[in-house]
Chain A
Amino acid sequence: MIMDAVNAFVVAFVVLNVIIGMVTYVTLLERKFAARMQSRIGPYRVGPHGLLQPIADALKLMMKEDVVPRAADRSVYNLAPIVFLVPCMLIFATLPFAPGLGIADLNIGILFFLAVSAMEIVGLFMGGWGSNNKYALLSAMRAVNQIISYDLPFIFVALVPVLLAGSLRLSDIAEAQAGLWYAAWFPLGTIAFLFYLLTTLAAENRVPFDILEAESELIAGFRVEYSGMKFALIQLGEYAHMIATSYLGALLFLGAWAGPGSDGSPWVGALWFTLKAMFVFLVVTWIRWSFVRIRADQILAISWKFLMPAALLLLMATAVVVALQGAPGG
């Protein structure tokens, strides 16, 4: 029993650190990718081809002065980055990176994932409120507005693979796709995957759904008053959330760790899973760098007038198909 606890603790520690390392390097990946889309090179000077840039950034953020606005609500202000970061890190707990490789494969894994990832809004609103800054407050209000609107279609779309696999456990969903990836199950699965990408964009507050940190209106949004390590924590949380949703997308729709050689070793499976998650991440980044920001009312209209009914219909159609024909691929 104690050995189990120690084992779980060690695994959790390793996963946490791997994820923090990944998050720092995903920023470099995104910057390079975005730069190439704009015919630039991106970070180049620090290390060969800018490979040490994330480390330089992290060091810089650690050494920066921590400025707290005089009018800030200090306890809320100081607590917000942690409240923001913890759910973003916690959602990795249920992710199985390969068969048997993960922290806790809960039997309600996807429910836990969706519930906890929606909790980041608490930290976000605390940050926006505690800063006592009009930009931060406006941004936090927009964020609540947007995330509540998009969490519903997000959950409905994530339920499509659950219906198909007949289980809430993430590893079961992954194994149910051995025959056919759900993204390739035309047309319902493909549409669900597209909807997933769209709602992911909104859940991660990325362009074109980035009204809560619209640079031209709100400077940096809810984290405008944060500096130094607290800013770093918020950034870390955002990118961790982004990577987690990418992993979830790869798991729900792209067959998770399935790939050549993944049967032999779980590590190869984990590599495939990571590659697929990075594919989802890059597609989301690609969308981000292709479009301009849309207005707040348009964002809400897309969610409530289109995505929400469409996701409901999709879920019902999937349910009908599963009831009549049985689940695909197995």
Chain B
Amino acid sequence: MARRLGESFWGDFFSLCVAVPRAMKVTFINLFRRPVTVHYPDKTRNYPDRYRGLLALTYDKETGEENCIGCRLCEYICPPQVIKVEMLKAEKRNFAKVFTLELYACEFCELCVQVCPTDAIIMMKSFDMSTADRRELLLDKDRLHQIGLQFEPSWATGNLLRDMQTPPKAPKAAATEPAAAGPAPKAGGAAE
């Protein structure tokens, strides 16, 4: 068992004499390391692909239409309930008549992105939206679309996330093969 502090003076003194240079060595080595600081407004870090930043709405790349169909799934799943959507029924597909997002209360949990069936709401690789007026953080549909065009999008979209998370299906050929090749006793018995 290790000696406890205060048991012997010279033991403490010796361990102090060892510990002090050791601690000072650590800071001395640090003195010559490159600082880890990134000069933020001048330089930005490379954000990771799954960065969860500002929220935005997207347009369809081919047709240029809005992706949002006003299904209100994001509104239902949102834990702090910052999203409000009203649906606009139309002939071919539906649209969001109103889409507001109160960014000042958003907790950036990405659940809205995960549930979105049409990849309409995504997150951006940026958090750069500081303002002196809180009202500017109440984002309407136009603002959200504008953010989507302004910043670099993060990797995650609803469909990509769902594809990633569903268990891999066995390919069709592999699933039928064993049944044909070998006699599966139970299945065979039932068939007879």
Contacts and interface: CB of A to CB of B under 8 A. Distances in A.
B24 A287 contact: yes
A10 interface: no
Interface residues of A, number: 15
A38 B37 CA distance: 10
Contacts of A186: none
Contact of B36 (A33, A39, A289): A39
B18 interface: no
Most buried by A among B20, B23, B37: B37
Contacts of B27: 37, 286, 289-290
Contacts of A64: none
Interface in B1-36: 13, 20, 23-24, 26-28, 30-31, 33-36
A36 interface: yes
Contacts of B23: 290-291
Contact of B28 (A35, A39, A41, A286): A286
Contacts of B39: 44
A70 interface: no
A44 B43 CA distance: 14
Contacts of B13: 306
Interface residues of B, number: 15
A36 B29 CA distance: 10
Most buried by B among A286, A290, A291, A306: A290
Given A290-B24, A290-B26, A37 B37 contact: no
A36 B35 contact: yes
B24 A38 contact: no
Contacts of A37: 27, 30-31
Interface of A: 33, 35-41, 44, 286-287, 289-291, 306
Interface of B: 13, 20, 23-24, 26-28, 30-31, 33-37, 39
27 contacts: A35-B35, A36-B30, A36-B31, A36-B35, A37-B27, A37-B30, A38-B30, A39-B30, A39-B34, A39-B35, A39-B36, A39-B37, A40-B35, A40-B36, A40-B37, A41-B35, A44-B39, A286-B24, A286-B27, A287-B24, A289-B27, A290-B23, A290-B24, A290-B26, A291-B20, A291-B23, A306-B13
